[in-house]
Amino acid sequence: MRFHVHRLAGAIFTLAVCVYAATDATGQITRLMPLGDSITNGSDGGYRTVLFNRLNEHGVTIDFVGSNALGKDRPHLPDSNHEGHGGWRTYNIQHHIVDWMQRYEPDVILLHIGTNDISTGADAPTTAHRLSRLIGTIFDTDPDVRLYVASTILRTDNPEKAQINEEYAALTPGVVRRWRNAGFDARFVPMHEYLGPDDLADHIHPNALGYDKMGLVWWAYYNGPTADARLAMTTPDVNQPVTLTARRMEPGAEVSFYATTAPLGATEVPGLGVTLDVNHAVLVGSATADGDGVATYVIENLDRVLRYQAIRVQAAMVGRKTQALIKVVR
């Protein structure tokens, strides 16, 4: 089921992912290579900051590997290596991937590529063919590597290119599935579903919130695909109520909604049997999921102090949870 991000007056729909705690029972270090173009390179660490911290908080010791690094380490990103190259097409990555893999020996690769292929005239089938060829080279180099392939995020710079990007995003899961059916550890990540126009800085690259969302999506899919609940929230306007909606919950389940302004950390909720990925979580209300698995809670008057902050909202029921990053604006 596709998650569309609609531009409606007074409302935004936001990232919602089921949060699976990725753990490494062996205590070994996972060598992880972020691979792609400028969207992987990112701004001030891009998606890698959130991803690094989430994995480490949940017991996975990560060593980002690659030939690129930030000029200096950031306080929240002590490991800045990656293979994100601005302006590169899929075949540019193809020319270097064998050397990079032999040099850095990644256990896991996170691949987001194809935006620049489309920017320079490639159609969707051509870009998908290049992607499949690159995946083949990756598995020829190391048949045991775990490869996550993300569908490219949306673009709003040009209607024709935006449509080709949509077509390419639709072809990507089939490409990944063919390699998985061939016996390789290829995993599809529907990144395209989770970012909308408000998450872009320049019609192509994510803004800070968009990169945070990307990091959360990579993290949530790290241990496998998820089909859990999705969370939406309307933007609070003056004298207007705020609506929280959680979908894909169990029909009849009591769903609790929590919020926080804290950037990192987790809070255990023993009564629900879950650990929320929010720090100092505040219960804002509960609702019962209807026969379609939809639970809705209306906040009649959101505290004004929250109106101008980036807050996170999470919904939870026994054994399941969903997270969203919400930027509250007037």
Per residue, the 3-state secondary structure of 240-284, as one string, reads CCEEEEEECCCCCCEEEEEEECCCCCCEEECCCCEEECCCCCEEE
Rounded to 5°, angle at Cα 70 from 66 and 72: 130
Rounded Cα–Cα distance for residues 104 and 138 (Å): 13
pLDDT, mean of residues 238-251:
74
pTM over 0.95: no
For residue 8, is pLDDT > 60?
no
Each residue's pLDDT tens digit, 277-328:
777 778 888 888 887 778 888 887 666 556 556 667 777 877 777 666 554 4
Mean of the per-residue pLDDT values of the chain: 79
Q: What are 257's two structure tokens?
A: 């909604």
Is residue 109 pLDDT above 60, yes or no? yes
Residue 177 is assigned to a structural domain of this protein: yes
Select from 220, 244, 272 the last residue of a domain.
220
Name the residue range of residue 321's domain: 230-327
The total of structural domains in the chain comes to 2
Average pLDDT, integer, range 23-44: 81
Which residues in the chain belong to E strands, given as ranges?
A: 11-12, 29-36, 61-64, 83-84, 108-112, 146-150, 186-189, 230-234, 242-247, 254-260, 267-269, 274-276, 282-288, 295-299, 310-317, 320-327
pLDDT reading at 236 higher than 80: no
Q: Does 85 map to a domain?
A: yes
- pLDDT, one tens digit per residue, over 121-134 is 999 999 999 999 99
**Interval 159-209: pLDDT, tens:** 999 999 999 999 999 999 999 989 999 999 889 888 888 889 999 999 988
Asked whether the predicted pLDDT for residue 37 surpasses 80, the reply is yes
Exposure of 45 in the CB half-sphere (CA atoms within 13 A): 20
Same domain, yes or no: 193 and 73: yes
Residue at 109 is within a domain:
yes
- Label residue 234 by pLDDT band (50, 70, 90): low
d(CA 237, CA 307): 9
Pair type for strands 108-112 and 146-150: parallel
Contacts by residues 93-100 (CB-CB < 8 Å, ≥ 24 positions apart):
93/35, 93/36, 93/134, 94/130, 94/133, 94/134, 94/137, 97/35, 97/134, 97/137, 97/138, 97/141, 98/137, 98/141, 100/33, 100/66, 100/67
The whole-number average pLDDT for the span 104-127 is 97
In terms of domains, do 156 and 238 share one? no
Cα separation, 110 vs 55, in Å, equals 14
Query: Within a 10 A sphere around the Cβ of 306, how many other Cβ atoms?
Result: 19
| 138 φ/ψ angles, rounded to the nearest 5 degrees | -60, -45
The whole-number pLDDT of residue 24 equals: 41
Same domain, 200 and 142: yes
Residues 32 and 179 in one domain: yes
Q: Which of 49, 86, 80 is nearest to 67 (CA)?
A: 80
Give the start-end residues of each E strand in 37-145. Answer: 61-64, 83-84, 108-112
Res 15: pLDDT: 26
First to last CA, the chain: 30
**Residue 283 is part of a domain; what is its CATH number?**
2.60.40.10
Contact call for residues 244 and 291 (beta carbons, < 8 A): no
State which of 220, 252, 286 marks the end of a domain.
Answer: 220
16 within a domain of the structure (yes/no): no
pLDDT for res 73: 55
Instruction: Give pLDDT, residue 306.
Output: 60
Same domain, residue pair 180 and 97? yes
- Residue 289 CA to residue 318 CA, distance in Å, equals 13
Examine the domain organization and report whether 213 and 234 are in the same domain.
Answer: no
The owner of tokens 């945070």 is 212
CATH at residue 162: 3.40.50.1110
Q: pLDDT at residue 146 above 70?
A: yes
Do 192 and 236 belong to one domain?
A: no
Same domain, 169 and 255: no
Of 177, 196, 220, which closes a domain?
Answer: 220
Per DSSP, what are the bridge partners of residue 30?
62
Considering only 15-19, 32-36, 149-153, 208-212, which range has the smallest mean pLDDT? 15-19
